[in-house]
Structure 1
Amino acid sequence: MFAATLDTTIEYLKGVGPKRAELLQKELRIFTYDDLLNYFPFRYIDRTRFYKINELDTDLPYVQILGRITGKEQIGEKHKKRIVARLTDETGSIELVWFQSLKWVDENVSRGKVYIVFGKPTAFNGSFSISHPELESYPRPATITGNLRLQPVYNSTEKLKKFFLDSKGIQKLQTLVIEQLLPEVRESMPAYILDKYQMVTKKEALLSIHFPRDVKALKGAERRLKFEELFFIQLQLLHNKQIREWKFKGHQFNAVGEAVNTFYKEILPFELTGAQKRVVKEIRMDTQRGIQMNRLVQGDVGSGKTVVALMSMLLAIDNGYQACMMAPTEILARQHYESITSLLDGRLAKVAILTGSTTKKQRTKLHEELEAGEIDILVGTHALIEDKVVFKNLALVVIDEQHRFGVEQRAKLWRKNAVPPHILVMTATPIPRTLAMTLYGDLDVSVIDELPVGRKPIETRHLYEGQRLRMFGFMKNEIAKGRQVYVVYPLIKESEKLDLLHLEAGVEQMSYQFPRPDYQISIVHGKMSNADKQFEMQRFIEGKSQIMVATTVIEVGVNVPNASIMIIENAERFGLSQLHQLRGRVGRGAEQSYCILMSGNKLSADGRLRLDTMVKTNNGFEISEIDLQLRGPGDITGTQQSGVLELKLADLATDQLILQEARNTVINILEGDPKLELPENSLLKTYLNKRSIGIAFDKIS
């Protein structure tokens, strides 16, 4: 007799077979019995309530009725054939109708028998019916997966439903696996952790997540499985960090020399904020330890991350090394290059830029100077990771907007030296705390949470289409004061699907309201060539045009202190993070700046919440928390990084306390037993040994 295990291929489960197995693999990534067991319900239907037939209402999503079949007949011919049964209780009767599986219904649904009926009631001509109801004999048979108070509901797909693998079909397969193999399930968490947090065993958790006895059992199962999921993510991340510190020695920046001191005391045109000073100090401490730094610097738009990065690069130069800074787009790379060269004013360091549009002649010269150590700071796009780009002694890499670069791209920079350079990652996208702990859980995190002195908070207003003339008047007033205006649209051309005020129509309207020669308008969008974009942006930067009409191309990389108004058309169509990034394009000078969110009159609940949030707060971290609840982690980061965010059960928006608990537990374990050599941690060691730990180490070893 064939004895299945949890690793057995799913096709051998009774009722599956090769065809259904192939579908389960393609649609739900269920390959083995264990995969099925770890495919959890997404909600539960309360089966504790029984309705009387006279209580039925079409507003009820599903009802459960206890009654007797008092009649059954087959009606119609060919494709109109159906079976209609009458179910009766002491308050009335209802029709049950089947259009499919008529042979099964004919053989298994018996007149005179009592059933528990479950389904969606519909009304026609004053009487109720239920199509294709679920039927159970009464009383229910007592099995470990029977007597359900809470009915599990599983996500399925249209293809699976054609093979009778809807939620009910998946539930039947779960019943088979649990009845056959639950005893084989091994514990995955150390006993001392279960005791400390009073959590149920793995067997109890799996049984109760699929077939909970009651709400209390379900809550206990969810807590246990969520904790385990987040715990093992943190174990991998923090163990990766630990291994990196053991394996990779780092350049030591012991000296704070002429470059840093001169820049700080003589050149820097403003006082650093307390937050900037704190982060510079953290970087300084990291680079003295003799191990590779891996630090994430989070800071809102305009909080002064570039100055922190520059001071870190000057620290590398003071210690005889080179530094580089990598940005995801040419516009942003050029912006950083111009900011750095402007701040240094031609002193202290030789700075160069390398992007896709650097000519062959320029590249040849740049490669020679870089390898000879004549270039101190190289700014660029992913062109920096090309094999031809060779540094003499690279010791610090600054990566801007890390989530836009792949793991392999970042690792290529690490290979530029025998001793891996220190890594400083910067992001202007405020990341919710829970997301930072999972996405960047192996990095040390610094937060710049103050705006530079003298910056005034941006005033944000929400206007409807009917208030457009008021908006034009406001623009004219600000332009008369010598200010400039951004106007951002979500689309370039009209879309049949989306009734949006698009950029081309916007330009026409703006040209009418702001005619030449009194006003000049720059137009920038993604379909233009780089040269044309650069030309139009330069006109705006130099003040030759007062209005820039653009798509979200200007979300990053444009810094015009004189621009004091950001108008976002169809603002309800943008995500919170994008709205916040766009707003950050203004407010960079000493003058009061404004962000105007234009929308239609009809707003969804989510759209209204996003716009209200923007009006209420300028705090990027507060905004990011609401964004996480609205959109989920994958959408916020734009990429599902290395599987970290493919969570089965835990929710980073709502399970913050469990995540913090799990992370603290891992920190305590690794502090007390770094190599997991204690017998009580053998399960954790086994877990790590089974997985390829350390993204970074695989790639650079």
Structure 2
Amino acid sequence: MYRNPLKKTIEYVKGCGPERAKTLQAELGIFRYEDLLNHFPFRYVDRSKYYSIREIRSTAAEIQLKGQIVSIQDINQGKVKRTVAKFQDGTGTLELTWFKITKWQREKLQNDIFKEIVVYGKLKEFNGNYSIVHPEIETIEDAKQAPQGLFPVYSSTEKLQKKGISNRIIQKMVTAIFDEHIKIEENIPQNLIQHFKLMSREQAYKTIHFPPNLDDLKQAENRLKFEEFFFLNMSMLSQKIQNKAKNKSNPFQLIGDYFNTFYNHHLPFELTGAQKRVIKEIRLDLKHPAQMNRLLQGDVGSGKTMVALLSMLIALDNGFQAALIAPTEILAQQHYNSIVEMLGEMNVEVALLTGSVTKKKREPILENLLSGKLHIIIGTHALLEDTVQFHNLGLSIIDEQHRFGVAQRAKFWRKAKLPPHILVMTATPIPRTLSMTMYGDLDVSIIDELPQGRKPIKTLSKTDAHRLQLFDFMKKEIEKGRQVYVVYPLIEESEKLDLKDLMDGFESVTRHFPLPQYAVGIVHGKQKAKDKEFEMQRFKRGETQILVATTVIEVGVNVPNASVMIIENSERFGLSQLHQLRGRVGRGAEQSYCILMVGGKLNPISQRRIEAMCETNDGFQLAEIDLELRGPGDMMGTQQSGVLDFKIADITKDKKILQAARTCVEHILKHDPNLMLPEHLNMRNFFIDNFKEKVGWSQIS
């Protein structure tokens, strides 16, 4: 039986003990040896050089001194209390200051008085006097035993400091683990280590904590990053293999009348090459008795709804029902309208079920769904209710998956005898690196081209000084028969400032575009649903030329005649949201424009967002920029943050390492899906030891 010595509890490390172990567990989540080894330094300092007080010039540097403490006193100045020790080294004097000194620190100071010690910290200067606030102090003997080269600095907390667990203590505990001469088993096949010239795992851990130089540190980081990406992908791709083996579903082997009639007689436009490729990928998946789990990514206006409809028609051809669930009523209504319009006179029963559907209208929908008379149902979370039962659900399409929890999606799947095939759609282009880590257990299809005849939207940035020019431009576009959106940020519906901005903006627009020559509509989240719908339909019919709105129109409005999108205070929007809003125009054959109105001086991140919007219409390119600006956690929200909880790897900076690790895992699992080859034994043991609960390998011993 494989036993990992790094699973020993932390209290057995020399210099730790039960009390310190409890604090490390509570503050840093360090329970075992391996947790401490994976608590990597966040920076390194050069502790090889000693300064004399006489040499001190810089006030920003961290310095190291040898000398003696000659006095200690407590100083109270009103509410500010501090402890000050006078430190001398024969060339001068400086102060060591503590604003919050712990009992153990005070005792240690008193014991060290007049002894030769080493002091380390950041230098401060005030009125020509130097001091070091909260310095690190150790004896000459301890300093001699410290590792040579770059000195590790670990993240800490106030409670750790109070309990006497300083940076030096953590460093000593890490050293103690290595002094036990525990063999750190290799967990990556030797052929990969040789191919990529990777440092051994044991050497990488020693080097990451105590690097002799920057070159070795870089090698250690690369090794540990590769390992982290490698086993993340191993976990996700193994899960994918297991799902395909375990999750049976109904094979859709027919392409029949529903699909062919629509494709040959009702298709409103020629499919793009990307749409054809994606439909082919979906058809191949649906032929098999294994459940399809596919992520469909597409930019704004790329035609994901068309792909969804064709997929649903394949389900109908095979005698099954299809469902599409969207996160909001507006988006569900938009999908419903689009699909009903595209199907035209075809004999396909489609219904919409949302929270606002009355009981009187709901009952026949539920009856027809259960009897099988209803072919396609589109809705919101209302579809997840227990009262919603299907005759034979075969395909579930989930729009914007990240807005639905795992438990909610599982509820959807249990509405069929065999799990339905799953197609997940997202209108937010996801960078390749992020999709590999976020959705690595799904097959991915990408629609990466827009329908023919669409002209690229021209995006410009303007300030309030250009307001009159902007109004003139709007009038010229309206004279051509076009329509205009003016969008205001409404971060929180309750924010009075935002609502005031919207109403002030509406009044300003109506002054410059008065009745009866112009008609201006307004839409915001505080309106009743029927009032919102009334205004949106007026705009869609062309009865209003300008729609002043909040971001409620980010999704759910498709007006090909609208050619101008003006976004007020655009610096307050995220890049993804700006791109989504821009996608409301450019849906017809005419030239469209997006005007980003900015106010005041922009911070560097806002400036980069605005520049990126003006530079490109490519959602995938913008997603890459967004990833670099915001980081993966902020970009995807808290729902999936655990997936991205890397200790050292960074998907924004380490794309090449991620891709290499992914390719290696794909190759290994293709040829040895159960990791049974002798050369994969250590890798298999490590994987089961650390990931079996996540992947469901608990039956493997």
The answer to whether TM tops 0.5 is yes
The sequence identity of aligned pairs, in percent, is: 53
SS of the residue corresponding to residue 649 of structure 1 reads coil
| 2: CA distance, partners of 1:179 / 1:553 | 61
Equivalent-residue separation in structure 2 for 1:590 and 1:444 (angstroms): 34
Structure 2 counterparts to residues 321-400 of structure 1, below 5 A: 321-400=320-399
1:31, 1:65 → 2: CA distance?
33
Give yes or no for contact 2:53–2:65 (8 Å, CA) kept in 1: no
* Equivalent runs, 1:160-559 vs 2, <5 Å: 160-165=160-165, 167=167, 170-180=170-180, 183=182, 185-491=184-490, 502-559=501-558
Give how far 1:348 is off.
4.0
- Report the alpha carbon displacement of residue 292 of structure 1 after superposing the two structures with TM: 2.1
Corresponding position of 1:668: 667
- The CA deviation at 1:383 is 1.8
Aligned residues: 685
Letter aligned with residue 356 of structure 1: G
Alpha-carbon separation, structure 2, partners of 1:448 and 1:162: 55
Which amino acid letter does the alignment assign opposite residue 293 of structure 1?
M
Contact kept, 8 Å, 2:493 with 2:525, in 1: the verdict is no
Distance of 2:51 and 2:543 partners within structure 1: 73
Q: 1:51–1:589: structure 2 CA closer, same or farther, 3 Å change rule?
A: farther
Q: Distance in 2 between matches of 1:349 and 1:573?
A: 44
Point out the more displaced range, 224-233 or 512-521.
512-521
The 8 Å contact of residues 280 and 312 in structure 1, kept in 2 or not, is answered as yes
Do 1:500 and 1:570's aligned partners in 2 also have CA atoms closer than 8 Å? no
Deviations 1:597-623 (A, max 9, x none): 111231111111111111101111111
Give the letter aligned to residue 73 of structure 1.
S
Q: Distance in 2 between matches of 1:94 and 1:552?
A: 62
Deviations 1:173-229 (A, max 9, x none): 54455545x616444334443334332333322222222222223222211221111
2:31 maps to: 31
Paired residues of 1:327 and 1:400 also in contact (CA < 8 A) = yes
How many Å separate the matches in 2 of 1:559 and 1:230? 41
Letter in 2 for 1:104: K
| Residues 335-372 of structure 1 deviation map (CA, whole Å, 9 limit, x = unaligned) | 00000001111314111111111222222211221122
| Cross-structure match for 1:87 | 89
Question: Does the 8 Å contact 1:53/1:65 carry over to 2?
Answer: no
Structure 1 residue 102: Cα displacement: 4.5
Q: Which amino acid aligns with 2:392?
A: N
Task: Answer yes or no: is the 8 Å Cα contact 1:325–1:399 preserved in 2.
Answer: yes
Across the aligned residues of Structure 1 and Structure 2, the Cα RMSD in angstroms comes to 3.1
- In structure 1, which of residues 100, 108, 113 is the aligned counterpart of residue 112 of structure 2? 108
**Residue 40, structure 1, aligned to residue 40, structure 2:** yes
1:678 aligns with 2:682: no
Could you say which residue in structure 1 is the equivalent of 2:122?
120
SS at 2:120's partner residue? Answer: strand
Distance of 2:480 and 2:349 partners within structure 1: 39
Q: In structure 1, give the amino acid aligned to 2:40.
A: F
CA distance, structure 2, for counterparts of residue 597 and residue 695 of structure 1:
46
Report the Cα offset of residue 169 of structure 1: 5.5
Contact 1:492 1:504 in 2 (8 A): no
Mark the CA change 1:504 to 1:686 in structure 2 (over 3 Å): closer, same or farther: farther
Match of 1:156 in 2: 156
Helix, strand or coil at the partner of 1:188:
coil
1:186–1:259 CA distance, 2 compared to 1 (3 A): same
Contact 1:354-1:383 within 8 A present in 2 as well = yes
Compared with structure 1, are the counterparts of its residues 528 and 109 closer, same or farther at alpha carbon in structure 2 (3 Å cutoff)?
Answer: farther
Q: In structure 2, do the counterparts of structure 1 residues 119 and 693 end up closer, same or farther at CA, with 3 Å as the change threshold?
A: closer
Letter in 1 for 2:468: L
Task: Tell me which amino acid in the other structure corresponds to 1:86.
Answer: Q
1-side partners of 2:495 and 2:283: how far apart?
55
Q: Take 1:384 and 1:408, find their aligned partners in 2: how far apart are those partners?
A: 14
Match of 1:73 among 71, 77, 85: 71
Q: TM-score, normalised by structure 1?
A: 0.89
User: Is the 8 Å Cα contact of residues 299 and 427 (structure 2) preserved in structure 1?
Assistant: yes
Q: TM-score, structure 2 length as denominator?
A: 0.89
Q: CA 1:569–1:695 in structure 2 vs 1: closer, same or farther (change >3 Å)?
A: farther
Cα distance change on mapping 1:577 and 1:63 into 2, 3 Å: same
Q: Secondary structure at the match of 2:644?
A: coil
Following the alignment from structure 2 to structure 1, what is the Cα–Cα distance between the partners of residues 198 and 682?
17
Distance 1:653 1:500 in 2: 37
Give yes or no for contact 2:566–2:595 (8 Å, CA) kept in 1: yes
Which of 136, 145, 151 is the equivalent residue of 1:134? Answer: 136
Worse-superposed segment, 216-225 or 440-449: 216-225
1:694 deviation in Å? 6.3
Q: Is the 8 A contact 1:94 1:129 kept in 2?
A: no
Letter in 2 for 1:110: F
In the TM superposition, residue 391 of structure 1 has moved relative to its aligned partner by 1.8
- By how many angstroms is 1:325 displaced? 1.0
Q: Which amino acid in 1 is paired with 2:526?
A: K
On the 8 A contact 2:47/2:64 being kept in 1, the answer is no
Q: Decide whether aligned partners of structure 1 residues 510 and 30 sit closer, same or farther in structure 2, where only a CA change above 3 A counts.
A: farther
Q: Cα 1:177–1:487, aligned 2, differ >3 Å: closer, same or farther? A: farther
What displacement does 1:382 show? 2.0
CA distance in structure 2 between the aligned counterparts of 1:400 and 1:307, rounded to whole angstroms = 13
Residue 423 of structure 1 aligns to a residue in which SS?
strand
State the alpha-carbon separation in 2 of the partners of residues 19 and 529 from structure 1: 59
CA deviation profile, 1:574-630 (whole Å, cap 9, x unmatched): 221121111111111112111111112311111111111111011111111111111
Rounded Cα–Cα distance in structure 2 between residues aligned with 1:687 and 1:330: 46
- Between the aligned partners of 1:67 and 1:384, the Cα distance in structure 2 is 72
CA distance in 2, matches of 1:392, 1:414: 14
For 2:17 and 2:510, how far apart are their aligned partners in 1? 66
Amino acid at match of 1:654: K
SS in 2 for 1:123: strand
Instruction: For residue 230 of structure 1, report the CA deviation from its aligned partner.
Output: 1.1
Mapped to 1, the partners of 2:552 and 2:165 lie a distance apart of 45
Unpaired runs of at least 5, structure 1: none
- Give 1:490-639 correspondences, 5 Å limit: 490-491=489-490, 502-639=501-638
Distance 2:17 2:484 in 1: 64
In the alignment, is the contact (CA less than 8 A) between 1:494 and 1:502 conserved in 2?
Answer: no
Q: Distance in 2 between matches of 1:609 and 1:47?
A: 38
619-628 or 132-141, larger mean C-alpha shift = 132-141
Contact 2:523 2:532 in 1 (8 A): yes
